[in-house]
Amino acid sequence: MPAAPVAASGYCAIDFGTSNSAIAIPEAGSSRTMRLIELEPGYRTMPTAVFYAAEGGLHEQPQCEFGRAAVSAYVDGIEGRLMRSMKSILGSTLVEQTTDIGGGRAVRFLDVVATYLAHLRRRAEAETGQPIARAVLGRPVFFVDDDPKRDAQAERALRTAAQRAGFREVEFQYEPIAAAFDYEQGVRGEERVLVADIGGGTSDFSIVRVGPGRAEKAERKSDILANHGVHIAGTDFDRRVELASVLPLFGYRAFGVAGADQPAREVPSAVYFDLATWHLINTVYNPLRVAELRSMRSFYADPAQHRRLMSVVDQRLGHELLARAEGAKIAVADGGTTAIALDPVEAGLSGTFDESQARAALDADLERIVAAARETAAQAGLGVGEIDALYFTGGSTGLRLLAERLQQAFPAARPVRGDRFASVATGLGLHAARRFGAPR
C-alpha cells in the first residue's frame, strides 16, 4: 500500500548539535518566515541530552528527561543514565549497539538519538498545532574525517533516527552553509564569506558567495565554493582540559614505584582517556573493568591518586569531572585563571587552569582547525586575502585563542560574530522555508 502524501504536513528545521540543539518553525500565518521556538522556559536552545530513569519495570518504557532537566536529574543523583554528545556516535560502530540504562534495561544508541529528535518534534507540533512530518536537518561537513563510506553511514543513521522520530520526509543541509544563509540577511553587497562553524563535535568551514541578489535563488549550489572540516571541536577541548588540569590528580601520567632493577613505569592511561570522553565514560563503570581498576592499586606510587580514581568510578562521577573541565575552559575563554573545585571526590581537592595551560593543551587541535580553514580557501581557489568576511558561529567560537588564530590566518577578512548558538538553526529555517514553503 503506498504511503500517504506528506505535501500538506507541517515542516521544521532542526539544528541537532553535539552539545546543544534548536528548532525553527514557520511563523503563524506565513510559510516563508521562520522563527526559533522556546524549547525550555527562557531558552531557544536546549542541551542535547537525554536522561533515562532506572526506576520502572523491566518491560516498561523508561521514563526520559531532556535537555536541562536531563542534566539536572543526573546532577541531583537520580538513579539512571545520562546520554550526551549523542551526535558523536553517528558513523561509529556504537550506533547499532545497545547500552545499559539501569534496572536491567538497555537501549540502542540510535534509538537514543531518535528519542531526542521525537521530543523536538513534539515541541514543534505543540507550537504549530499541526502534525509535522517534514524536516531539514543540519549536518556537519564531515561526520567522520577522511572516510567517505563511514561519513555516508553516519548520514544514513541520522536519517533513520529522524524517520523513527516521525519525520517522513528528511533533507539535509550543511551546517556552515546554513550559517551563511543567516549571515546573508545583513549583507548589502556581494561577498565571499568564510563561515567558521565550530561547535561541540566538529569544526566546519564553507566559503559561500552571498548577497541580496542571490538570497532568493532556489538553487544555491553554484554559490558554494568550498566545504571542508575536521572532527575536532568543543568536546575535544574539554578532553584536553581535563587531561591537563584535572586527571593528573587522579593518576594520569603518574608513575609507580621503581624496582631494584627497573625504572618506575607510567600508570596505564586508557581509563583516563575514557573518563575524558563523554560517550565512553560509562564504559568505565562496567563491573569487570571496575574490578580490574581496583586491582591496580600497586601500580601507583601515590596511593591517594588511586583512591581518588576509585571514588570517581564507585560514585560514577566521570560526567561531573568532565563538566567541571568544561566550566574551566569557559572560565578562561577570555584569559585569566580559574580554580576547579573537586569536592565531590575529596573535600578540599581542587585543580587550577589558566590561559597558558590552555594554549599548551589546545595548541595542536587549534592548529589542525586553522589548517582546515586554509584548506577550505585553497579548495575554493582563493588566497587568504580574497576572503571578504569571516563569520563565526557555534559555541566554541567563544574561545578567544581559537578566534585569534583564525583571524591571524585571514587578516584581510572582516570578522563578524553571529549568534553562537542559533545562527545555524536560523539558516536552516531559511532553507526549509525555501524548500517547503509556498512559493511567492
User: What rounded mean pLDDT belongs to the chain?
Assistant: 89
The residues, ordered by sequence, that sit 6+ positions from 365 with a Cβ below 8 Å of its Cβ are 232, 236, 237, 240
Is the residue at 168 inside a domain?
yes
When pLDDT is averaged across residues 164-188 and rounded to a whole number, the result is 91
pLDDT of residue 6: 41
| pLDDT-based confidence at residue 47 (cuts at 50, 70, 90) | very high
Q: Range with the lowest mean pLDDT among 28-42, 126-140, 189-203, 282-296?
A: 28-42
Assigned domain for 97 exists: yes
Residue 440 pLDDT > 60:
no
The cell numbers describing 241, all together, are: 582540559
The answer to whether residue 94 scores a pLDDT higher than 50 is yes
Q: Is residue 34 part of a domain?
A: yes
Q: Give the pLDDT confidence score for residue 375 in this predicted structure.
A: 96
Residue 408 has pLDDT above 60, yes or no: yes
Determine the pLDDT at residue 4.
Answer: 44
Name the more confident of 31 and 92: 92
Give the span between the Cα atoms of 180 and 65, in whole angstroms: 33
Report pLDDT for 68: 95
Our measurement of the distance from residue 309's CA atom to the centroid of its chain's CA atoms, rounded to an integer in Å, reads 27
Q: Is residue 170 part of a domain?
A: yes
Mean pLDDT on 153-163: 95
Q: How would you classify the pairing of strands 10-16 and 132-139?
A: parallel
Split at pLDDT 50, 70, 90, the class of 1 is: very low
Count Cα neighbours of 81 within 13 Å in the Cβ-side half-sphere.
24
* pLDDT score of 218: 67
CA dist 338 → 102, 303, 330, 342 (Å): 36, 27, 10, 13
Our count of domains for the chain comes to 1
Say whether pLDDT at 2 is over 90: no
What would the pLDDT profile of 423-438 be if each residue is shown by its tens digit?
Answer: 999 999 999 998 888 6
- The one-character DSSP state at 342 is -
Contact partners, residue 421, CB within 8 Å, separation at least 6: 20, 22, 44, 45, 395
Q: Checking DSSP bridges between strand 414-417 and strand 389-393, what pairing results, if any?
A: parallel
The residue-averaged pLDDT of 122-129 equals: 94
Give the pLDDT mean for 31-48.
Answer: 89
Residues 255-301: tens digit of each pLDDT: 998 877 788 899 999 999 999 998 788 889 999 999 999 999 999 99
pLDDT digits (tens, 9 = 90+) for 187-240: 888 999 999 999 888 899 999 999 888 877 767 778 889 989 998 999 999 999
User: Is 236 a domain residue?
Assistant: no
Q: Which residues contact 237 (CB under 8 A, 6 or more apart)?
A: 329, 362, 365, 396, 399
* Amino acid at position 24, single letter: A
Distances in Å between the Cα of 420 and the Cα atoms of 133, 207, 234, 365, 411 are 28, 18, 13, 20, 21
pLDDT at 365 over 80: yes
Give the H or E element holding residue 425: helix 423-436
User: Which domain range does residue 50 map to?
Assistant: 10-175+425-436
pLDDT at 187: 86
Residue whose C-alpha cell is 589546545: 362
What's the average model confidence in pLDDT over 152-177?
94
Q: Residue 186: is its pLDDT beyond 70?
A: yes
The pLDDT of residue 56: 64
Round to whole Å and give the CA distance between 241 and 277: 11
Cβ contacts of 35-44, under 8 Å, gap ≥ 24:
35/429, 36/422, 36/425, 36/426, 36/429, 37/123, 37/124, 37/127, 39/67, 39/120, 39/123, 40/67, 40/68, 40/69, 43/68, 44/421, 44/422, 44/425
- pLDDT tens-digit series, residues 305-358: 999 999 999 999 998 999 999 999 999 988 889 999 999 999 999 999 999 999
Instruction: Identify any residues that bridge with 172 across adjacent strands, giving them in sequence order.
Output: 137
Query: Considering the chain, what percentage of its residues have pLDDT values greater than 70?
Result: 95
CATH number at 15 reads 3.30.420.40
Using a cut of 0.85, tell me whether the model's pTM lies above it.
Answer: no
φ, ψ dihedrals at 81, nearest 5°? -130, 125
40 lies in a domain?
yes
pLDDT band at 30 (very low <50, low <70, confident <90, very high): low
Which of 332, 163, 357 lies closest to 244 in space, CA to CA? Answer: 357
Provide the pLDDT confidence category of residue 29 given band limits of 50, 70 and 90: low
312 is a domain residue:
no
Q: Say if 116 falls within a structural domain.
A: yes
Residue 261, burial from CB neighbour count under 10 angstroms (0-12, 13-18, 19+) = exposed
Short-list 18, 20, 16, 17, CA closest to 40: 20
The pLDDT of residue 220: 77
Percent of the chain with pLDDT over 90: 62
